Chains A and B, each alone.
Chain A
């Protein structure tokens, strides 16, 4: 009685067979493509007489770099030049992230303010800055900075600081051995604050007694570095920049390229962060805050235990990707002559002709930065997910 006479037995229609076949074909095609491209590249490079390999990293570059965090001159290797570029990228990225965070958080909070004037100004800022390409931001500020007055007529926002077409200079404390120990003490202070908060929380849980930690914490934070500094005899000599000839000497100097790039990417990214912060704050349902208020929680508690944890969960992940995109956008330094990684990689590419290797270095560096940041992000998410339960 069992008939299966209409059953198709052919293996070609078997789902499993097809799946394996598709994947094998894909894999084969990719391998073939890779091999084809590789052999073409080799052939083309050989024909054009371009060297391959990584030897160029250890040969002398012969070009100067306008600004560097580490010592560098034209006699140094391409490898070191690229390192200089990488450090310059990190410098502008870190500064940009800090400034964009402040600007973005401020503008985001301002946008939800009940003050009409403030929220209007903030939304104008957001709409204008995020709807204009970051490339234009950067070259716009690059143009603006060249329109600023010459060093002799520099704008002086406060005593000792100068803004001009050669960049920005400001006073800076002269280096002193004591500062290392002040730094260590600050670290101690930070640990102290964490310990204090934990202690206060535990005490509250045990006895129900509420211990305000704001001022105590501030004291614990500031006291150790301050005491160490005083113990060293309060060393503080300001290195004040002064006009010598056509240029300023001394103090903390920022090149016009750095300033233009920094302002450009900060304004652009700040607008996106502001939007993220705004939606984060608005995502906390008003019922949550009302419920907390109805329970009689004091405003500080509401902020810390109700509003912030919920808003941060919405805010942090997209903000991280904004940090990443700011870092990637710092490569626009190439437009205005800021010697970041891409700029120096580009020079290396033009001088050696080894485009494949030069571009590979740039991509690998950015990719590593991205991967490191996403790993941190995943760790944060895991911690946040645990807290949710």
Chain B
């Protein structure tokens, strides 16, 4: 790593006029330090380059130069050697919105925008109070659901069986959080309780659900849950699935929150008790606001997982964005371009999850710097 090159001295000149050592040229210096600092490092660089040269040109050719971007004719795509991105343009409506009536798609776009703004608001510390977040989420759920249902103000009524695509993914996701998060807090508090029966029930519940795959819980929601109800009573399948996912989410989140609760000093409880506050006041006003901040990065990581987990409904046939895409791609004319459609859906998931994971890292930095938020 040490500079070994000796500065060349221009003949006859003073030392001051000597040109800088070659490493001072920023690019070369960067290359030296980051790519070829040791023989081993140079070899690594070489292997990486060979790998890139082997794969990258072929991939770029497929994805860009030989690809078809716009066409409504599947034969054009078949004739081309590369990717058929045109499939996204051709099929994006049913991919993103399922079998929801075509003319009513604007309603879905508004619904998705409302969801995204609710999520963005929730991420900003200045809006963190029960008085803002609770009404905001109630508004979000009620407004978007009524918008999608319709049946008022001249809006056509659309049955839930026709809901699909990205809005359904959003409903699954936000429903999971809205039901799952309070449940997670209750489970975490229950597990910390000094009443042995309460504690035991919470421990068994959390640990047994964490031990099984999400699929089996969805199977229970779809196949077994109807058997639990008396004859004649039925719940919407979507609701059952959301509740199943929420319970699954809550069990993981409860463990994260428990970690946060354990990090709060005993003095906080004592001071609040000495002021005469009761259990729920102490928890809601004093302990939880601090505990949730401490474990926020972990919470966000499980929220990302919850978003990705919405895709599990492919197995039980609810039309989220992935199921809708899979169904659309049954079209024999476009079928062989399923890969491109999946890559597009993957990009949607990626953008959302990547943004959230960056947010989680930001929060982690706030915490480590002791920033107030």
Contact = CB atoms under 8 A, between A and B. Distances in A.
A290 interface: no
Contacts of A346: 219
Interface string A187-206: 00000000000000000000
B197 interface: yes
A133 B349 contact: yes
B231 A43 contact: yes
A371 B339 contact: no
Interface size class of B (residues with CB under 8 A): 35 or more
B290 interface: no
Interface in B172-221: 194-198, 201, 208, 210-216, 219-220
B122 interface: no
A364 to B, nearest CB: 9
B223 A359 contact: yes
Interface stretch (B43-51, B67-75, B139-147): B43-51
Interface string A18-59: 010011001100100000010011011101000000000000
A91 interface: no
Nearest to B220: A359
Interface string A132-146: 111110011001100
Interface in A60-100: none
B35 A134 contact: no
A338 to B, nearest CB: 13
Contact of A26 (B44, B201, B229): B201
B197 A27 contact: yes
A131 B349 contact: yes
Contacts of B231: 43-44, 47
Interface in A100-157: 113-118, 121, 127-128, 130-136, 139-140, 143-144, 147
A356 B342 contact: no
A23 B212 contact: no
Contact of A40 (B223, B227, B311, B338): B227
Contact of A135 (B37, B211, B227, B311): B311
Given A19-B195, A47-B231, A136-B342, 12 more contacts: A116-B34, A118-B48, A131-B350, A133-B308, A135-B312, A139-B314, A140-B339, A143-B339, A328-B213, A332-B215, A367-B212, A371-B211
16 contacts: A41-B227, A117-B45, A117-B49, A128-B350, A130-B353, A131-B304, A131-B353, A133-B311, A135-B312, A135-B315, A139-B322, A328-B214, A331-B216, A334-B215, A335-B315, A355-B219
Report the 10 A-B pairs with minimum CB-CB distance, sorted nearest first: A370-B211, A116-B34, A131-B353, A23-B197, A133-B308, A328-B213, A355-B223, A135-B311, A133-B311, A367-B211
